[in-house]
Amino acid sequence: MKPMKMTDRYKLVLWAGMALSLTACVDEDLSDCPTDVEMREITVSYQIDLQHGVDPEFEAELLSLHLGFWNSPQNLYRDLVFQPEDMPEELFFKVTLPVDNYDHLAVANHNNDRVGGGLHTFDNVLEDVVVDETPISPDTIKALAYPPFSGVLSMRMEEDETDHYTVLMSPVVGKVKLHVNHPETMRNIKCYLSRTQQGFLCWEDAYISNDRLRTDASDFKVTEAARLTEFEFYSYPCTGGSVYRRAEGEGHWKLYFYSECEDRTIQHIFTVEDPIRAGRVLEATFNISDGSGEAVDVTAGVEINTDWKPGNDYDQEM
């Protein structure tokens, strides 16, 4: 079944016949529910945070969805996972819950697998729920093919008589599009990033930092021609930034290109001032050769090693 796009003002409403209670009751048959507990049927809708917006080229598409309800900060009361094959054209949730106070958290597109989807574990402790990637080697993660989204909401049913709740979903990564011009003698170009965040603590609305982290974007080539190599991927923001719902600082990050040239490997390191921001698209063009490097449309300094060897730095091991 094809994935659902966030159209109609990016609004997503989820509908399913699901019941959450102190026991395993369902909407159609509440005979097993405690008789001394007040039940309430509510609807929950999910939409992109339109206040700050998402760039047009940012892929606002939900491929999988994971929902969690906590009735205390240390107790995950119920969670539901929708894999890509389970995602219908339109989703709409109607939920029956015991009247209580809940903290609700939703994550979309975690683990970046269009086939396997977002099957991942929610921690039983609410503040420990994180969106992050499995390292492919120590301090190294892969760039992302699809953008994860996160949304949180406090549902105070004991204090509020409402029967409808809206969860604002925000992307936790930015999109990066790189155009690399180079001579024909330079080929098989690899791309890495450093000084970006490692993951996102959903309820805390905060990123996880790792000063030694590197992101491998080498497999995300969309063009590989004699004089042009292009990359397109999603990445956690640079370490000076935060999710766009909060005040966002600026921070320099590093971009590494490794090119095969005759019997040498040439390393170009660009220190980029233009930030990677959640929900935004950073597009940049670079000109590299065996003796020079230039950032065309972003502000960046450059260092060049014309005969790079493995082990010269921790940022890359080839």
pLDDT tens for each residue of 248-299: 445 689 999 999 999 999 999 999 999 999 999 999 999 999 999 999 999 9
Q: Distance between CA atoms of 109 and 61, rounded to whole angstroms?
A: 9
Q: Distance between CA atoms of 171 and 131, rounded to whole angstroms?
A: 11
pLDDT at 99 over 60: yes
The two tokens of residue 212 are 């030694």
Q: Which of 6-15, 16-25, 88-97 has the highest average model confidence (pLDDT)?
A: 88-97
CA dihedral 115, 218, 137, 274 (to 10 degrees): -100
Residue range(s) occupied by CATH 2.60.40.3740 in the chain: 174-305
Contact yes or no for 244/278 (Cβ under 8 A): yes
Average pLDDT, the chain: 81
Architecture of domain 4-171: Sandwich (2.60)
Q: Distance between CA atoms of 111 and 142, rounded to whole angstroms?
A: 11
Residue 85: what are its φ and ψ, rounded to 5°? -70, -15
Q: Name the nearest CA neighbour of 239 among 283, 202, 193.
A: 193
Q: Distance between CA atoms of 41 and 64, rounded to whole angstroms?
A: 24
Class of domain 174-305: mainly beta
Computed over its alpha carbons, how large is the radius of gyration of the chain? 23
Q: Is 17 exposed, middle or buried (0-12, 13-18, 19+ CB in 10 A)?
A: exposed
pLDDT of residue 75: 94
Q: Distance between CA atoms of 140 and 317, rounded to whole angstroms?
A: 10
Q: Distance between CA atoms of 248 and 156, rounded to whole angstroms?
A: 29
- The single-letter DSSP state of residue 277 is -
Measure CA of the first residue to CA of the last residue in the chain; give whole Å.
39
pLDDT of residue 114: 46
Using CA atoms, how far residue 154 sits from 38, 216, 243, 302, in Å, is 19, 36, 19, 46
pTM: 0.83
Ranking 91-105, 166-180, 227-241 by mean pLDDT, the lowest is: 91-105
pLDDT of residue 51: 66
pLDDT at 304 over 70: yes
CA dihedral 167, 198, 178, 279 (to 10 degrees): 10
pLDDT at 8 over 50: no
Q: Distance between CA atoms of 104 and 91, rounded to whole angstroms?
A: 17
List, for residues 139-177, the tens digit of each pLDDT value: 999 999 999 999 999 999 988 888 889 888 899 999 999
pLDDT of residue 54: 85
